[in-house]
Amino acid sequence: MNYKETMEYIEEMTKYGSVLGLENMRNLLQCLNNPQEELKFVHIAGTNGKGSTLSFISTVLTCAGYKVGRYISPTIFEYRERIQINGKMISKVELAAYMTRIKDAVEQMTEEGLPHPTPFEIETALSFLYFKEKKCDIVVLETGLGGREDATNIITTTLVAVLTNISMDHMAFLGETLEKIAYQKAGIIKNGCYVISAKQETTAMQVVEEVCREQQAALTVVNQAGIKSVKSSLTKQSFSYESANHILYKKMEISLLGTYQIKNAILAIEVLGRLQKLGYSISEKALRKGLLETVWIGRFTVIARNPLFIVDGAHNEDAARQLRDTIEFYFTNKKIIYIMGILKDKEYGKIIQETYSYGTHIITVTTPKNPRAMPAYELAQEIQPYHNSVTVADSLQEAVEMSYLLADKDSVIIAFGSLSYLGELIRIVEHRDDIRRDTHGRSEQD
């Protein structure tokens, strides 16, 4: 297959949906001679913060001189973002070549009467094969959904299992209580591996501790009280941190914004400290450089200024609460225009309740090309009992133009609710800014 045929094949595979369980994945990987067995992993599960934590860890390891595989989902701009080595996406040629081999394995399975793998199983298997043949020193990967029965959980060579914040999300698949969700997330903990966890709510923490005892896995919980001397601007943040093992990290800097990113950074610091004890050479210089250079688009990311335009993938109650806290921290008494696009299977009512009061005006959009999208008109109807200034936009382009018309230079525009539309929205804003610079002269913007 060439690249065009590969993308058509990927689109065709969506009809196989999403199925939890590991048997299908096991069969597919056996057809590929189990490439995952020759890799070492940092495996990340949790409700929010997985991508940011993964990016911190993998960027620092790259700065330390390692060849680092990175497997993420969902993506912002294009499919190939899912599979990266040292921050560089798999090429179109390589994606086509590896997908052709995966397709052959899938056809072998179906000829033997085995179930057809899901799209996530296919791309996960491809990533393992790619990372193995590219001889990655270590792979940092995040779960797709849950943990225990997620396709990524087929791995057996986990060095460190990482648990970010665990909260309510995907209840139809993972369970209706925090304990049940925590049990699914904690399923990535392998016998004898090391576990680094964010500070969890009591009920979730009890589940994690119990699974660690069952698996004889050593648990470290971040010392959230050890965060000191926090300074934040709209370009970077600095902090000091006394780790769970009483190691003091002074004046660390990160470029990721949002009050919650410091918590993700200290989780990454604890993971990297454990990797050092396992023999990975990570200098203080590499640690500082990697943390500062980490980029994670889609979590409180500034994409334009004058007025300030921010995108944030706050797609569940906890993420909405984090967004609310960050707005309170940065933008007291600012005029804020929201652009909201939410999937209909999310807790949109709770997302609205956490955020509506900070918006001067709310523009609703339908997330494009997504069958799970909540229509903009229906979303507006849900918001109207809470807010008296809501407008429905027919397209992302229209939403962006409306937001600029409503804003002055001191206003803040924030687009949030689902990661799935942010890539296209970012392109629209960047294109608009390019045109404006060409019209008014680049020197005005420099």
Three-state secondary structure along the chain?
CCHHHHHHHHHHHHHHCCCCCCHHHHHHHHHCCCHHHHCCEEEEECCECHHHHHHHHHHHHHHCCCCEEEECCCCCCCHHHHEEECCEECCHHHHHHHHHHHHHHHHHHHHCCCCCCCHHHHHHHHHHHHHHHCCCCEEEEECCCCCCCCHHHHCCCEEEEEECECCCCCHHHHCCCHHHHHHHHHHHCCCCCEEEECCCCHHHHHHHHHHHHHHCCEEEECCHHHEEEEEECCCCEEEEEECCCCCEEEEEEECCCCCCHHHHHHHHHHHHHHHHHCCCCCCHHHHHHHHHHCCCCCCCEEEECCCEEEEECCCCHHHHHHHHHHHHHHCCCCCEEEEECCECCCCHHHHHHHHHHHCCEEEECCCCCCCCECCHHHHHHHHCCCCCCEEECCCHHHHHHHHHHHCCCCCEEEEECCHHHHHHHHHHHHHHHHHHHHHHCHHHHC
pLDDT in tens, 340-388: 999 998 889 999 999 999 999 999 999 998 888 999 999 999 999 999 9
Residue 358 is predicted with a pLDDT of 94
What topology is assigned to 301-445 in CATH? Answer: Protein-Tyrosine Phosphatase; Chain A (3.90.190)
Taking a C-beta distance cutoff of 8 angstroms, is the pair 140, 60 a contact? no
What residues form DSSP beta bridges with 236? none
Burial code of 122-139, b = ≥16 C-beta within 10 A, e = fewer? Answer: bbbbbbbbbbbeeebebb
Domain limits, CATH 3.40.1190.10, in the chain: 3-293
In this predicted structure, what is the pLDDT of residue 420?
86
Residues of the chain with pLDDT under 70: 169-173, 435-446
pLDDT score, position 110: 93
Q: Which residue has the tokens 């300074």?
A: 231
Residue with tokens 């470290």: 220
Write b or e for each residue in 404-442: b if 16 or more Cβ atoms lie within 10 A of its Cβ, otherwise e: bebbeeebbbbbbbbbbbbbbbbebbeebbeeeeeeeee
Residues making up the chain, counted from first to last:
446
Domain 3-293: assigned CATH number: 3.40.1190.10
Cα 209–Cα 258–Cα 175 angle in degrees, nearest 5: 40
Q: Quote the CA–CA distance of 120 and 129 in Å, as a whole number.
A: 14
Return the C-alpha torsion angle 310, 314, 320, 323, nearest 10. -30
CB 200 within 8 A of CB 165: yes
Confidence (pLDDT) at 440: 52
* pTM for the structure as a whole: 0.92
What radius of gyration do the chain's Cα atoms show? 22
Q: Is there a contact between 130 and 90 (Cβ–Cβ < 8 Å)? A: yes
Identify the pLDDT of residue 271. Answer: 98
What pLDDT is recorded for position 173? Answer: 66
Q: Where in the chain is the domain with CATH 3.90.190.20?
A: 301-445
**Predicted local confidence at residue 90, as pLDDT:** 98
CA dihedral 194, 200, 202, 207 (to 10 degrees): -40
Measured over the CA atoms of residue 335, residue 341, residue 342 and residue 344, the dihedral's sign is positive
